Homo-oligomer: A and B are copies of this chain.
Amino acid sequence: MPTAILNDYLRRAIERKDYQAVRQFLEEFQAVDLAELLQTVPVDAARELLMYLPVVQRASVFGHLPVDWQSQLTTAMTDKEVSQLLRHLDADEGADLLHVLPENRHDRVLRKIAHAEREALRRLASYEEGTAGAIMTSDYMTVPAEITVGEALDVIRKSAPSAELIYQIYTVDAQYRLIGTLSLRELIMNKPEARIKDVMTTDMVKTKLSAKQEDAAKLISRYDLLSLPVVDDDERLVGIITYDDAMDVAEAEATEDMHKGATIGPLAGNFRDARLFTLYRKRIVWLLLLVFGNLVSGAGIAYYEDTIAAYVVLVFFLPLLIDSGGNAGSQAATLVVRSMATGDIAISDWGKLLLKEVAVASGLGLTMAAAVSLIGAYRGGFDIAWVVALSMICIVMTGSLVGLCLPFILNRLGWDPATASAPLVTTIADASGVLIYFWIANWILHLPAP
């Protein structure tokens, strides 16, 4: 329990102003753990602890803090302290910090940084949220194609301290267009006198500045890359995305898709620290929309009011039948949405999958009809059993096909297929379920049409 340790040992060290002990204590933690620990104490104390660390570690810990903590901490720091942080953060984290600072501090803080670094930060901070540009870093390593492997290793040795990742090296031409890449492993394994241009790979995976961040992350995962070069429209190298950032993006995207699948809007931070009103706002939109969607089910029920009045026993099976359609549909939608997100299925697979879903849903519907017809016979006799079983098959089929098709339709309309959430599919399946059920009941029980 970090808080307990902190409250005890650390507080006493701070009280007796034993900087040495405090620093030693803090240095035992990995940056990400220390960032977590800092979030358990008040902001002022966190700022004080941070200041005990040497500036390189301080920047490393700071980079792991969530945006709102960064914002609060910088408010209490001087311009000089902030610009010091900016200089030591990885370039992509520095650009994120710029987003956090209030407008009027921007220039004051940036003025204290060397020109080249300042421009790189400004540029990085200017790319649109969610694009490859917004998550790339400018701390990568290039070597000229004409030098030898031995010379390249010297270059790397010299610039390693400032680069975020030195295991993949790039070569560019005079216009800074990306022309080749090679890994440090290949460098080490080649003879020192070999020329870079003879040992580099020219056919490499890369991405555009404006590509979606999740697509960039998918390339890194698919090709097992350590870093992915990002080029502008003129094929000029402008940055790299590192594997660790790709992992974070993939995790965030999976979270966003899961939340969408339960009709929750995208949360910027994590659930534990989200504010009450944010949670309310992210949840109420779809809940209200679905209330109105459910009115269709209500209207269907109202339309068949006489049928219900004649056979109140039918209401017993209503939740069971419509929920079954919704559940089968949610399954199909989830399978499709996730497979689309991981790239396992393409839009063109839709016909094949539809046929398959018809077969699977028939099996599911038949099994569930058999189960439910026994209860139907027990509660309402043979006719009711027949109504319930037939309805089950039709409702499960309909629900499954809605679940399967909806993500494809949404995608076609240019929307995110993940919008085909379980609750949305359930609401559609419910409305059609009500109509199917009572229509079949009317027909089999020989009731007059309403």
Contacts and interface: CB of A to CB of B under 8 A. Distances in A.
A361 to B, nearest CB: 9
Contacts of A375: 295
A279 B360 contact: yes
B315 A308 contact: yes
Contact of A272 (B185, B263, B344): B344
A319 B301 contact: yes
B342 A272 contact: no
A423 B167 contact: no
Contact of A298 (B30, B271, B320): B320
Nearest to A269: B344
Nearest to A279: B360
Contacts of A203: 28
Given A221-B247, A315-B301, A261 B322 contact: no
Interface string A297-332: 111011001001100110111111011101110110
A310 to B, nearest CB: 11
A13 interface: no
A434 interface: yes
Contacts of A4: none
A447 interface: no
A305 B295 contact: no
A287 interface: yes
Contacts of A322: 319
A251 B247 CA distance: 9
Nearest to A290: B327
Contact of A363 (B167, B259, B280, B312): B280
A226 B225 CA distance: 11
A172 interface: no
A2 to B, nearest CB: 12
A45 interface: no
A301 B318 CA distance: 9
Interface stretch (A50-58, A69-77, A228-236, A365-373): A365-373
Given A312-B309, A330-B262, A371 B288 contact: yes
A339 interface: yes
Interface stretch (A16-24, A100-108, A109-117, A156-164): A156-164
Contacts of A372: 291
Contact of A320 (B250, B295, B363): B295
Contacts of A166: 185, 188
B309 A251 contact: no
Nearest to A340: B271
A334 interface: yes
A189 interface: yes
A405 interface: no
Contacts of A352: 272
Nearest to A321: B294
A287 B331 CA distance: 10
Contacts of A440: none
Contacts of A262: 261, 330-331, 333-335, 422
B247 A360 contact: no
Interface string A200-233: 0001010000000000000011111010000000
B263 A261 contact: no
Contacts of A271: 335-336, 338-339, 344-345
A428 to B, nearest CB: 11
26 contacts: A224-B244, A226-B226, A243-B243, A255-B338, A255-B342, A258-B338, A259-B334, A262-B333, A263-B330, A263-B331, A271-B339, A271-B344, A276-B356, A279-B356, A280-B363, A284-B364, A287-B328, A290-B323, A294-B323, A295-B375, A301-B315, A301-B316, A305-B312, A327-B423, A330-B423, A422-B422
